[in-house]
Amino acid sequence: MTDKEYLRNLRIPTPENPLRVLTSACLIGTQCGANGTSYGEYPSVVKLTHYKNILITPFCPEHFSFGTPREMCDIYGGDGFDVLNGKVKVITESGIDWTDGMIKASEKMLEVARNANIELAVMMDVSAACGSQVIYNGNRFAPTPVHQIGMGVCAAQLTLNGFKVISQRDFESLEILYSKLDANHLINPDAKDHDQNEWVLNYFKK
């Protein structure tokens, strides 16, 4: 669940003093996904690039540690906080242990966030690195993949160090952000964050 009160209390940025936002690089079109693409288009985040009073710092932690293209990986038996605490591992689809590389990637992302003095991170959900709402528990390519509520390793690292994280699917939170960037923006009252998505509600009620 995102911290909407934090978002509502964000300052009003100007072109001279823009809002400083960190994004997963793939969300704004950088071809750094595991398969060498950006995984598609994300209008909810690309929209941010059209404002003149925002400074976006893109970064792909998995590209930093593992290059592009690369295997997909997931967390087994826990979430990103558990990885950072040494309790569980990050494993690739072929069974390679990427735990150390993922932790180093999270440390680099934290360094980028601090150097840019970011005020918010908008990150790719479901990713073992950047997920902030829902991630896989174990191999996403299993016959019956299992999802869990939780953060990826890099989102957890940022959160532990006081940074606020939302995902590209947190549409209600993004509406609040748009209103900070544009005083004339009318917030869509029907917009919902990822945790209120019908699929999420139905999946986790069991």
User: Tokens 């005083």 sit at which residue?
Assistant: 183
* Ranges under pLDDT 50 in the chain: none
Render pLDDT for 23-64 as a digit per residue (tens, 0 to 9): 999 999 999 999 999 999 999 999 999 999 999 999 999 999
Task: Please report the pLDDT score of residue 43 as a whole number.
Answer: 96
Q: What is the pTM of this model?
A: 0.96
Task: Please report the pLDDT score of residue 148 as a whole number.
Answer: 96
